[in-house]
């Protein structure tokens, strides 16, 4: 029985959207996420504390006056407004929705060039990378703006919409620069389409748009410094952040990392698509330049996998346009083959790495169950700092305890001097003498740590602190652990809540 192509395409597209929405729907773990800090940023800015949040290290008692550029301050406002109106579940819904729109923008910009069946198969291939970045972060706005810029530029080039729409881009660029540091991708896309149309009248309009975009991008709290910040963001990084490491580094240090496998598989296919494009005389030097750019992003830092996937999906589909594959009438049998093939491919990926889809993927919206337990314990028992906390849990403490308590450190390496991490934060967890020195300097009263800190120094520190007679563990759950200093002020609480050392076991 023959099936109308429109109905078939609709069913397959619905299947794709379901898969994307399902795997992007991850429960929020505030303990290790940046989200808590972004929410607090938005709350304070909307309360009139713009300069405090944007230009000062407001939340830290160690380096409160350290200057830094808060390049994602605008995202905090959007996240907070959504949280205020719809809670954490609303934030989850927004995140999924924006990712689906982004996928649609890339999909819609290629569907007139390539048959739907090819797009479907390529989408399934890149799906594990589309959903890799499941945490709600400002970078989701960069994915969206990349898709929107790309869609508009292609639609204008194809004359589907008027070239007047070009002059919307500088205003979008002005918004983008205040939401996330990857705003520079907008200029790269503009440059590619300027070169692509250099012999056409469209190039003159794009030239004006680039000039206007540069001018309007200076409308950020840091002016021209904000415009050039992407070139300087890593100058003051003194802490090794996993998501900023290259594929090769992670392969060497961690070993088997599921996302790396999916990235490599997709890269081989993407590379092979260029051979097909050359054979079919569809090779484009400018799209090849875009391929080199997104490949560099992907190989250099795993945080870029999703951005790489969106453009990689489009380029691979474009390069396969010349292949004659199911170009004729479609049938229900073909529908079955493609859906079954897609499910089979996903099942194969699951067999390769089940943890990628299960342990790391806690499906649902809103907060993880009992995620706020440690913060509730802290507040209900009126614990008092100064707090020594680990890097990951900083955003959680900022969201729950500021302004009553400030943090020792949080997950913004650029907001602290490089030497702070290399000469204080890491050494004090490795060396008991250094710990005693720093503890006395700041007079720590509470240690509040993410229980799942997997750094070698973090694990060693927690083991040593459990055995330290000067500190008593008083709270532990699946997310966090809290210690109190043995002193007169904490005597009653320790007597009430102390967890016997025999309850702890070191697993190697």
Q: Is the pLDDT of residue 493 over 70?
A: yes
Q: What is the pLDDT of residue 64?
A: 85
CA trace torsion 284, 287, 292, 295 (10° rounding): -130
Q: What is the DSSP string of 156-198?
A: HHTTSS-GGGGGGHHHHHHHHHTT-GGGHHHHHHHHHHHHHTT
Sign, CA dihedral 76-79-82-87, equals negative
- Condensed to tens digits (0 to 9), the pLDDT of residues 110-163 reads 988 888 888 888 898 899 899 888 889 999 999 999 999 999 999 998 889 998
Q: Is the pLDDT of residue 498 over 90?
A: no
Q: Mean pLDDT across the stretch 177-192?
A: 94
In this structure, is residue 508 part of a structural domain? no
In this structure, is residue 367 part of a structural domain? no
Q: Are residues 109 and 165 in the same domain?
A: yes
Q: Are residues 105 and 16 in the same domain?
A: yes
In contact, 391 and 425? CB cutoff 8 Å: yes
Q: What is the pLDDT of residue 353?
A: 52
Q: Mean pLDDT across the stretch 100-105?
A: 96
Q: For residues 70 and 52, what is the distance between their CA atoms, to the nearest angstrom?
A: 11
- Condensed to tens digits (0 to 9), the pLDDT of residues 249-259 reads 888 877 777 78
pLDDT band at 177 (very low <50, low <70, confident <90, very high): very high
In this structure, is residue 99 part of a structural domain? yes
Strands (E), 247-390: 387-389
Q: Are residues 56 and 135 in the same domain?
A: yes
Q: Are residues 383 and 334 in the same domain?
A: no
In this structure, is residue 251 part of a structural domain? yes
In contact, 353 and 264? CB cutoff 8 Å: no
* 113 phi/psi in degrees, rounded to 5: -105, -25
Q: What is the pLDDT of residue 3?
A: 43
Q: Are residues 386 and 350 in the same domain?
A: no
Q: What is the pLDDT of residue 339?
A: 63
Q: For residues 456 and 433, what is the distance between their CA atoms, to the nearest angstrom?
A: 18
In contact, 484 and 494? CB cutoff 8 Å: yes
What's the domain count of the chain?
2
In this structure, is residue 59 part of a structural domain? yes
pLDDT band at 338 (very low <50, low <70, confident <90, very high): low
Percent of the chain with pLDDT strictly greater than 70: 90
Contacts of 446 (CB under 8 A, 6+ apart): 378, 383, 384, 385, 386, 387, 388, 482, 483, 484, 485
Task: Calculate the average pLDDT of the chain.
Answer: 86
In this structure, is residue 238 part of a structural domain? no
Q: What is the pLDDT of residue 56?
A: 78
Q: Return the higher-pLDDT residue of 172 and 163.
A: 172
In this structure, is residue 165 part of a structural domain? yes
Q: Are residues 273 and 151 in the same domain?
A: yes
Q: Are residues 393 and 324 in the same domain?
A: no
Q: Are residues 333 and 382 in the same domain?
A: no
Q: Are residues 318 and 459 in the same domain?
A: no
Q: Are residues 252 and 279 in the same domain?
A: yes
Which of 325, 357, 389 is at the close of a domain?
357
Gyration radius of the chain's alpha carbons? 25
In this structure, is residue 240 part of a structural domain? no
Q: Are residues 130 and 196 in the same domain?
A: yes
Q: Are residues 347 and 448 in the same domain?
A: no
In contact, 432 and 464? CB cutoff 8 Å: yes
Which of 330, 357, 384 is at the close of a domain?
357
Output the six-digit token pair for 36.
């808590």
Question: Domain range spanning residue 46?
Answer: 5-233+246-357
- Condensed to tens digits (0 to 9), the pLDDT of residues 201-224 reads 888 999 999 999 999 999 999 999
Output the six-digit token pair for 426.
């890491």
């Amino acid at each position: 029985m023959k099936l109308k192509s429109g109905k078939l395409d609709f069913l397959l597209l619905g299947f794709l959207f379901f898969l994307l929405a399902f795997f992007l729907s991850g429960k929020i773990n505030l303990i290790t996420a940046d989200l808590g800090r972004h929410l607090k940023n938005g709350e304070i800015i909307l309360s009139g504390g713009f300069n405090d949040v944007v230009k000062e290290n407001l939340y830290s008692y160690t380096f409160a006056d350290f200057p830094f550029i808060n390049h994602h301050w605008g995202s905090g406002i959007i996240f907070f407004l959504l949280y205020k109106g719809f809670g954490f579940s609303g934030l989850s819904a927004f995140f999924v929705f924006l990712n689906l729109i982004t996928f649609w923008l890339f999909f819609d910009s290629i569907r007139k060039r390539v048959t739907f069946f090819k797009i479907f198969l390529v989408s399934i291939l890149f799906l594990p990378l589309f959903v890799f970045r499941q945490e709600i972060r400002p970078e989701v706005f960069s994915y969206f703006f990349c898709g929107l810029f790309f869609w508009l530029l292609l639609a204008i080039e194809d004359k589907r919409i008027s070239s007047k729409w070009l002059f919307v881009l500088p205003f979008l660029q002005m918004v983008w620069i205040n939401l996330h540091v990857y705003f520079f991708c907008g200029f790269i896309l503009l440059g590619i389409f300027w070169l692509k149309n250099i012999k056409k009248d469209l190039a003159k309009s794009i030239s004006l748009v680039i000039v206007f975009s540069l001018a309007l991008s200076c409308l950020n709290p840091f002016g021209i410094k904000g415009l050039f910040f992407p070139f300087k963001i890593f100058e003051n990084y003194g802490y090794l952040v996993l998501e900023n490491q290259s594929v090769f580094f992670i392969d060497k240090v961690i070993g088997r990392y599921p996302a790396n496998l999916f990235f490599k598989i997709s890269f081989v296919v993407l590379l092979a698509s260029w051979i097909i494009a050359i054979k079919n005389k569809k090779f484009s030097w400018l799209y090849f330049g875009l391929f080199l750019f997104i490949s560099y992003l992907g190989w250099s830092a795993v945080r870029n996998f999703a951005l790489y996937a969106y453009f990689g999906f489009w380029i691979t589909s474009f390069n396969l346009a010349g292949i004659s594959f199911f170009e004729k009438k479609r049938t229900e049998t073909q529908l079955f083959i493609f859906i079954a093939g897609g499910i089979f491919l996903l099942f194969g990926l699951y067999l390769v790495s089940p943890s990628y889809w299960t342990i790391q993927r806690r499906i649902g919206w809103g907060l993880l169950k009992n995620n706020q337990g440690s913060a509730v314990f802290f507040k209900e028992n009126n614990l008092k700092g100064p707090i020594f906390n680990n890097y990951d849990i900083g955003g959680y403490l900022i969201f729950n305890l500021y302004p009553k308590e400030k943090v020792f450190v949080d997950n913004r390496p650029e907001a602290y001097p490089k030497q702070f991490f290399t000469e204080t934060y890491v050494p004090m967890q490795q060396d008991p003498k250094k710990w005693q020195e720093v503890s006395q300097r700041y007079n720590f009263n509470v240690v509040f740590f993410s229980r799942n800190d997997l750094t070698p120094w973090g694990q060693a520190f927690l083991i040593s602190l459990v055995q330290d007679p000067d500190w008593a563990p008083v709270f532990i759950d699946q997310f966090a652990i809290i210690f109190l200093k043995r002193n007169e002020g904490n005597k009653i609480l320790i007597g009430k809540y102390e967890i016997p050392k025999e309850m702890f076991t070191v697993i190697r």
